[in-house]
């Protein structure tokens, strides 16, 4: 079998669920992960000798994809900020918008020895990326999900990032364990009403605990984190949120009412309100 023939075959199967560009991208990711095929191999159209085991692995993966399972869960990994992270159904798949949040924090915080905590860490992609980019940062991460913390710890170990992970319920009223220069969070912010707008690969596979809030209290996590931040940020410490694009003004108002200054709503590369940040004075 030729590489191009296999690539086209898989891509064609996937076009029943995905547009052509996405189907092509997924087909390549699958072949790269399972067979080690490069884009050059596909262009040159080299000859393949696929073992029965690998052939079965590809077919099982395609079956999962045709049931809308995300390619990242099928492969057990996702790229984030230039690194590979282990993911499974216990953690959200890292998004490009969250890379923008990480980049903003790195750009705005050049000092050494910063103390940072990520609230609702999931796969650990935010604190690990910050630890590896900032000078001698002391980084902590918390999550209510023990299963998510296990994945985050696995990623930290694989990437040699020395993060302190703790099981923590931000809604419990228990204080955060330390004082920080930076608090960052990408909390659940999708309302129940917005479920109808979501694709099956998100709605049916990604953890609802990390995604959804009730329609009657969509800011529950932002309110709680802001209250914690009032007591746990050093003077001139910064709070960074990823947000629901429809709630930027409301999140900024919560922060301002709690005493934060220099509050900003920042748009992502798609022009949607995505980050709110402010300074505790």
Distance CA 213, CA 152 (A): 23
pLDDT of amino acid 166: 97
DSSP 123: T
pLDDT of amino acid 221: 98
Closest CA to 102 of 134, 75, 56: 134
Contact 98, 112 (CB under 8 A): no
Query: Is the same domain home to 241 and 141?
Result: yes
Distance CA 119, CA 140 (A): 9
What b-and-e string marks burial along 165-185, b requiring 16 or more CB atoms within 10 Å of the CB? beebebeeeeebeeebbbbbb
Q: Please give the model's pTM, rounded to 2 decimal places.
A: 0.94
Q: Give how many domains the chain has, as a whole number.
A: 2
Query: Is the same domain home to 63 and 96?
Result: no
Contact 239, 226 (CB under 8 A): yes
Q: What is the mean pLDDT of the chain?
A: 95
Query: Is the same domain home to 117 and 18?
Result: no
pLDDT digits over 72-94, tens only? 999 999 999 999 999 999 999 99
Range of the domain at 35: 3-67
Query: What CATH number does residue 179 fall under?
Result: 3.40.50.150
- Is the residue at 83 inside a domain? no
pLDDT digits over 188-245, tens only? 999 999 998 999 999 999 999 999 999 999 999 999 999 999 999 999 999 999 999 9
Query: Is the same domain home to 32 and 139?
Result: no
Q: From the CB of residue 249, how many other CB atoms can be counted at a distance below 10 Å?
A: 11
Q: Which two tokens stand for residue 5?
A: 């023939």
């Amino acid at each position: 079998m030729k590489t191009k023939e296999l690539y086209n075959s898989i891509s064609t199967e996937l076009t029943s669920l995905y547009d052509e560009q996405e189907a092509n991208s997924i087909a390549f990711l699958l072949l790269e992960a399972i067979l080690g095929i490069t884009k050059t191999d596909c262009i040159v159209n080299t000859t393949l000798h696929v073992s029965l085991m690998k052939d079965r692995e590809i077919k099982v993966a395609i079956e999962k994809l045709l049931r809308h399972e995300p390619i990242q869960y099928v492969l057990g990994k996702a790229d984030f900020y230039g690194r590979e992270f282990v993911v499974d159904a216990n953690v959200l798949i890292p998004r490009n918008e969250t890379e923008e949040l990480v980049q903003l924090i790195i750009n705005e915080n050049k000092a050494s020895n910063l103390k940072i905590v990520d609230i609702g860490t999931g796969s650990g992609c935010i604190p690990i990326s910050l630890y590896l980019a900032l000078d001698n940062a002391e980084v902590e991460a918390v999550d209510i999900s023990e299963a998510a913390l296990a994945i985050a710890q696995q990623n930290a170990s694989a990437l040699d990032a020395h993060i302190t992970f703790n099981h923590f319920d931000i809604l419990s009223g228990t204080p955060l364990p330390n004082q920080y220069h930076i608090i960052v969070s990408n909390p659940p912010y999708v309302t129940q009403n917005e479920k109808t707008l979501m694709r099956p690969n998100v709605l049916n596979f990604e953890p609802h605990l990390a995604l959804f809030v009730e329609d009657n209290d969509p800011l529950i996590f932002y309110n709680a984190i802001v209250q914690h931040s009032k007591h746990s940020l050093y003077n001139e410490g910064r709070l960074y949120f990823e947000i629901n694009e429809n709630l930027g003004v409301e999140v900024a108002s919560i922060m301002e009412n709690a005493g934060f200054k220099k509050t900003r709503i920042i748009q992502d590369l798609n022009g949607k309100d995505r980050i709110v940040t402010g300074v505790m004075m």
